[in-house]
Chain A
């Protein structure tokens, strides 16, 4: 199972859980599994066209998946995915 670290703003869809786990061979498959378990969260992780929304950054360990293979980036059971939202507060 791959671990997904969620920012505060998305935890409302997981009952407050900060870390969730899901299975899949790629980031995209993991997100599909997340969408199955947490439909509202799944909507925020996928654009209407099926890609990544431009305002969501996804890091596999410490690398931005936009510079890997995007949603096709392979993952394994030790992978750690971090969802990074833009925040503006000051």
Chain B
């Protein structure tokens, strides 16, 4: 028997649950997956905040990948509540047990003055460039927009900073700051893959900028061709959301830690020695800080630099890539960042381990949130310099 569209919608409505706009509004914060099943051009002109776009025609093929758990509460809406009724019926038939359709659709939602926003949308070129990201349900276009909006500061354009910068730029992190006062030397090229033979003698920040812009013109590069010091670190770091530490000495690492506690910015930490690497995330006051783990640096005979002791070039490639991954997870708010955990890597044994790190309640740097450490220049001993009252 032939059916009209209206009859099909009526038949679907008889078999699904419909909710009104007020009920959907009350469910925005309870973990319900909100699906906008309109077309992309409708969605781009305005949508319910937090809704994910899965156009009606792509719903059945994509839903099991996007929402694998068939018991997940799902609310679907369209423009007027008809397409969403058919959509709800379709995925209910696929075994989803907790699906509702919003009667009246986005049209009624908007007319009632409920909150909506224009989703940040990608350009045509960006949709192609980042398509392998946006296919991931954990990223999607909304996640890619977050990456494009993020500001990450890389300390050092060396062994760790090179792979971190390349992957963050390729991922479309919108603003990358790079701090380095050094120039490219031929002994860097065995591991510092941002640079090349033509750039020998060039400031590393300029060489890095040329490489990264060529990789992804979406990314704004801010060059800080200076040595980080007590005088400039707060000003520089305050422009960013996240710091990726690829420094090569203890005084800088303690200085970054202290400034991060002032500004309450997370630091993605990486460090290497010969064939061994370490990585962690120091999220101020949420987990341990660098000084909780290492209250004082080791004496120089226990901690020679890469220049003195050597390092296999691939090692910073691996550890710096882990730092880039952690930074992206922080920006997207996905997964379990390495907060309160130290990842150790032994390249010769090809062994990764995770050690638990705890926040030291008596830490001289992060023990009291209202008294962050004084920002001072450290010598090689990096002894704690006391604290100051929080001003910001």
Contact = CB atoms under 8 A, between A and B. Distances in A.
A90 B156 contact: yes
Interface in B141-195: 156, 158-161
Nearest to A88: B250
A31 interface: no
Contacts of A66: 360
A45 B391 CA distance: 40
Interface string B301-341: 01111100101000010000000000000000000000000
A9 B302 contact: yes
Contacts of A86: 250, 271, 293-294, 297-298, 303
Nearest to A7: B276
B356 A63 contact: yes
Contacts of A9: 273, 302-304
Contacts of B295: 54-55
B272 A85 contact: no
Interface in A32-87: 44, 54-57, 59, 62-64, 66-67, 82, 84-87
A25 interface: no
Nearest to B277: A87
Contacts of B311: 89
Given A54-B295, A88-B248, A90-B158, A8 B358 contact: no
A69 B354 CA distance: 21
Contact of B298 (A18, A55, A59): A55
B273 A84 contact: no
A64 B356 contact: yes
B299 A55 contact: yes
Contacts of B260: none
Task: Specify the main secondary structure of chain A where it touches its partner.
Answer: mixed
Assign chain A's interface to a size class.
20 to 34
A18 B160 CA distance: 25
Interface in B247-298: 247-250, 253, 270-276, 278, 293-298
A3 B158 CA distance: 36
B275 A8 contact: yes
A88 B303 contact: yes
A55 B358 contact: no
B296 A90 contact: no
Nearest to B305: A89
Given A8-B274, A18-B349, A88 B355 contact: no
A87 B278 contact: yes
Contacts of A44: 302
A89 B306 contact: yes
B357 interface: yes
B184 to A, nearest CB: 16
20 contacts: A9-B303, A44-B302, A55-B296, A55-B297, A56-B298, A62-B355, A64-B358, A67-B358, A82-B353, A86-B293, A86-B294, A86-B297, A86-B303, A88-B250, A89-B272, A89-B273, A89-B305, A90-B247, A90-B271, A90-B316
Interface of B: 156, 158-161, 245-250, 253, 270-276, 278, 293-299, 302-306, 309, 311, 316, 342, 344, 349, 353-358, 360
